Amino acid sequence: MTAVIRTVADLRATVAAWRRNGETIGLVPTMGALHDGHLSLAAHSRADNRRSIATLFVNPTQFGPKEDLAAYPRDEAADLAKLQSANVDALYAPSVAEMYPKGFATTVTVAGLTDHLCGPHRPGHFAGVATVVSKLLLQATPDRAYFGEKDFQQLQVIRRMAADLDIPVRIVGVPTVREADRLALSSRNRYLSAEDRAHAAALPRMLADIAGRLSREPGAVAREIAWGFHQLEDAGFRKVDYIEVCDVATLQPTRQVTAPSRVFAAAWLGRTRLIDNWQIGAA
C-alpha cells in the first residue's frame, strides 16, 4: 500500500520510523501527471533504497505569471494508482499552505548555472525549483534523490544547491525516457494537438543529428545551431527559445566542443513549450 502523507510532521514521523529500522530512503520529486519517465525515477529509487517516497507538488513559485500553473494537469488518484503499481512506499502531497505558510520569506538562488538556457527565458523559475527542492530534501532527509536528465539544467542546479548547502543527500540523474519516435515523455505533451504531436519528433531528431555531427566535427557548433533553427522552423515550431551547446559542468555555451557537452533546445509548438537535450559523444 502506498501511504498518502500531507504534512511535514507526518512525513518526518514516517521517515523516523524507517530510520529506526535502519532502512535507506529514496526521494522522487514530481509535479504529478505521472508517466513512464517519472516511473523510471521511481524504479531507480526502488532498486537503490529500501524505502521510496514520491512527492507530488505543483509548485506555484516555479511558474511565471504567464505560464500554465492553473492549467497544469492534475490527477492525484491516477498518480497514486501508478505509484501503487510501482511499489512506492509513500506519496507526499502537501498543500500550498503546508509548503508556504503565512510569512514564508526565503528563496534559494543558484548563480552561474542559471545564466543561460532556460534561465533567461523563465525568470524566477530556477529559484522556485531550488527553494522547493531544498525544502523537500530537508523535510524528507532521503539518502538519495532522483531527477531526470530531460531537465538537465534543473539536475545540475539541484546538484549545486545540495552541495553548497551541505544537504547530506546523493543526487542521482536518470536518463530520459522517450516515445518510439524519440520525443521525451513530458506531462506537457498532452497539450499537443494531433498535428503538433506528429511534428514534435523533429526536436529530438535535430538534437541527435547535431550531437552526432559535432562528435566528429567539434568546431562546427555555430553552423549546426543555425541548421537546427531551420529544422525546427520547417517542422512547424512557432518559436525557438534557444539551441545551445554547453559544457555539462558549467552550462556555459561553447563554440568548440572540447569538454563533455550536450546540445540543448527549447521551442514552442502551438502553445506548448518543449525542452530536450542530447549528449555529444560518449563523454
Residues serving a catalytic function are: 38
- State yes or no: residue 187 binds ligand AMP (CB under 6 A): yes
* E strand spans, the chain: 3-5, 25-30, 51-56, 90-92, 144-148, 170-174, 239-247, 261-269, 272-279
- State yes or no: residue 82 binds ligand AMP (CB under 6 A): no
Would you say 120 or 175 has its CB closer to ligand AMP?
175
Cell 509548438 sits at which residue?
A: 269
Q: How far is 215 from 80, CA to CA, in rounded Å?
A: 42
Q: How far is the CB of 277 from ligand AMP (least distance, A)?
A: 11
- State yes or no: residue 131 binds ligand AMP (CB under 6 A): no
Q: Which three cell numbers stand for residue 269?
A: 509548438
CA distance readout (Å), 219 to 228, 252, 256: 16, 16, 5
Q: How far is 92 from 89, CA to CA, in rounded Å?
A: 10
Sign of the alpha-carbon dihedral angle for 246, 256, 177, 39: negative
Site for ligand AMP in 147-166 (CB under 6 A): 147-148, 150-151
Q: How far is the CB of 123 from ligand AMP (least distance, A)?
A: 18
Q: How far is the CB of 207 from ligand AMP (least distance, A)?
A: 14
Taking each helix axis from N to C terminus, what angle separates 76-85 and 36-48, rounded to the nearest 10 degrees?
Answer: 40
Count of all residues that appear for the chain in the document:
283
- State yes or no: residue 185 binds ligand AMP (CB under 6 A): yes
x/- map, 12-31, ligand AMP, by CB under 6 A: ------------------xx
Would you say 183 or 225 has its CB closer to ligand AMP?
183
Q: How far is the CB of 168 from ligand AMP (least distance, A)?
A: 20
- State yes or no: residue 184 binds ligand AMP (CB under 6 A): yes
Kind of pairing, strands 25-30 and 144-148? parallel
x/- map, 38-57, ligand AMP, by CB under 6 A: x-xx----------------
Please report, to the nearest 10 degrees, the dihedral formed by the alpha carbons of residues 27, 18, 21, 2 taken in order.
-90
Q: Is residue 184 classed as helix, strand or coil in its secondary structure? A: strand
Q: Are 148 and 155 in contact (CB under 8 A)?
A: yes
- State yes or no: residue 177 binds ligand AMP (CB under 6 A): yes
- State yes or no: residue 232 binds ligand AMP (CB under 6 A): no
Q: According to CB under 6 A, which one of 186, 189, 231, 272 is a site residue for ligand AMP?
A: 186
Would you say 167 or 220 has its CB closer to ligand AMP?
167
Q: Is residue 236 classed as helix, strand or coil in its secondary structure? A: coil
Q: According to CB under 6 A, which one of 134, 139, 153, 176 is a site residue for ligand AMP?
A: 176
Would you say 43 or 221 has its CB closer to ligand AMP?
43
Q: For residue 185, which phi and psi values (nearest 5 degrees)?
A: -60, 140
Would you say 261 or 277 has its CB closer to ligand AMP?
277
Q: According to CB under 6 A, which one of 110, 172, 174, 245 is a site residue for ligand AMP?
A: 174
Chain residues in the site for ligand AMP (CB under 6 A): 30-31, 37-38, 40-41, 147-148, 150-151, 174, 176-177, 184-187
